[in-house]
Amino acid sequence: MSHDELHERGAHERRWHLAEVAGDALVAQEEARVGHADRGGQSLNRLAVSATNHCLTGCLTGEVTGMVIATAFGWGNVASIAVAVGLGFLFGYLFTSLPLLRAGLALGAIVPIALAADTVSIAIMELIDNLTFVLVPGALEAGLGDLRFWLPLLGGFVIAWPFALAVNHAMIGRGKGHAVVHEYHH
Q: What b/e sequence results for 92-119 when a residue is b if at least 16 CB atoms lie within 10 Å of its CB, and e otherwise? A: bbbbbbebbeeeeeeeeebeebbebbbe
Q: What domain range includes position 177? A: 40-182
Same domain, 2 and 46: no
Same domain, 6 and 73: no
- The domain total for the chain is 2
One-character DSSP codes across 57-118: HHHHHHHHHHHHHHHHTT--HHHHHHHHHHHHHHHHHHHHHHHHHHTT--HHHHHHHHHHHH
Residue 16 carries which side chain, given as an amino acid letter?
Answer: W
Same domain, 28 and 99: no
Number of separate helices (H) and strands (E) present in the chain: 6, 0
* pTM of the complete model: 0.71
Same domain, 85 and 34: no
Same domain, 90 and 148: yes
State yes or no: pLDDT of 69 exceeds 90. Answer: yes
Same domain, 22 and 78: no
Q: What is the pLDDT of residues 18-33, one digit of tens each?
A: 444 444 444 444 444 4
184 near 152, Cβ under 8 Å?
no
Q: What is the pLDDT of residues 127-169, one digit of tens each?
A: 999 999 999 999 888 888 899 989 998 999 999 999 999 998 9
Model confidence band, residue 9 (pLDDT cutoffs 50, 70, 90) = low
